[in-house]
Amino acid sequence: MLTTTSTLGQQGQQDWPAAFLDDFESKIWLTYRSSFPLIPKSSDPNAASAMTLGVRIRSQLVDSQGFTTDTGWGCMIRSGQSLLANALAILFLGRDWRRGTKIREESNLLSLFADDPKAPFSIHRFVEHGASACGKYPGEWFGPSATARCIQALSSECKHVGLNVYVTSDGSDVYEDRFRAIASGGGTRTGIHPTLILLGIRLGIDRVTPVYWEALKAVLKYSQSVGIAGGRPSSSHYFIGAQGSHFFYLDPHHTRPALPYHPPNGQPFSDEELTTYHTRRLRRLHIKDMDPSMLIGFLIRDEDDWQSWKRNVQDVSGKAIIHVFDKETSPFGGHGSERESAVDEVEVLDDDDDDDDDGDDCDERLDGDGSIGDDVGDSSSFLHISKK
């Protein structure tokens, strides 16, 4: 999705090309928000135990009736929103779109994610669907699979965006017959129409197993990539590029004022509001420090994209993390033995797997400026690249 080469300047500092920084800054970055319309708490007596201690205390201090901020629990939802927003940006604005152009079109796109129940992809809608279909309480941390199911359901309801969503049911396995059925859009339509592929997978136990490193790095280099959501224990980032063994990411752990809802083609958002959805600050994480559970996204726009994507996943170096089969067969026959061999350590994520990561408040490890621990700093110091 976002790749670059760079050189070391004087005193070993990084020289980043302006074109790369402009590209990075144009990626849409959704973060925690505050002072949005109330998300009511669940009346279920088990709801409180599903929340972290920090979230329970914060909700009692701010508003005992519900949540007006997602600080401390909404980072996976925000990462998933970022993945979806950047997929839609490619469709609506083009891959070469840069910040500062097409202001009205960008405003129309962001209005879909406004922090208001009227917005089709708002955090309110994610929480509502998460509660009804995924067993997630308001204020409870989402995992990759719940986030994927919300994206699929909300995209289906918001038909005017024209995006189909294929969520894998077998982790790393993609079945062409089922994909084509979804990508056609149903009815009398044929062929492949814009479709977002979402793979919720686990690539190890506590860390990404090294045999998958090369394949995971390759994922972000595909032209169809729209990034990776997840990737840090009990927390989530949105990874959009790779250089060597480091992954560039956007960090949702910053709390900003809620974005109000603007109807389509209404008044554009102000420059101040739009600025909160972009950053020029580079952050990165070594692959060895990533959590193995993640949500990987690809945007397939047409038949050419599909064929190119299939070639990419089949020709990957190292142990493959994605497998494409012609047809989805019965677990009691067909290519069952082939699937077991192919999947190996790649596991499908379900809601129980999501719950395994619910132990910590996902913003407790933040430094004062919102950075995560010691792994980030300014762009001249935290990138470690050898001279060639």
Residues labelled catalytic = 75, 251, 253
294 Cβ partners below 8 Å, 6+ apart?
144, 200, 201, 202, 203, 228, 229, 230, 231
DSSP code for 34? E
Contact 228, 200 (CB under 8 A): no
Residue 365 CA to chain centroid, in angstroms?
20
According to DSSP, the β-strands at 235-243 and 195-202 are unpaired
- Residue 338 exposed, middle or buried by CB count within 10 Å (0-12, 13-18, 19+): exposed
Cα→Cα distances 327→178, 180, 181, 192, Å = 7, 10, 11, 17
Q: What is the DSSP string of 267-315?
A: SPPPHHHHHTT------EEEGGGS-SEEEEEEEE-SHHHHHHHHHHHHS
Q: Distance of alpha carbon 158 from its chain centroid, rounded?
A: 19
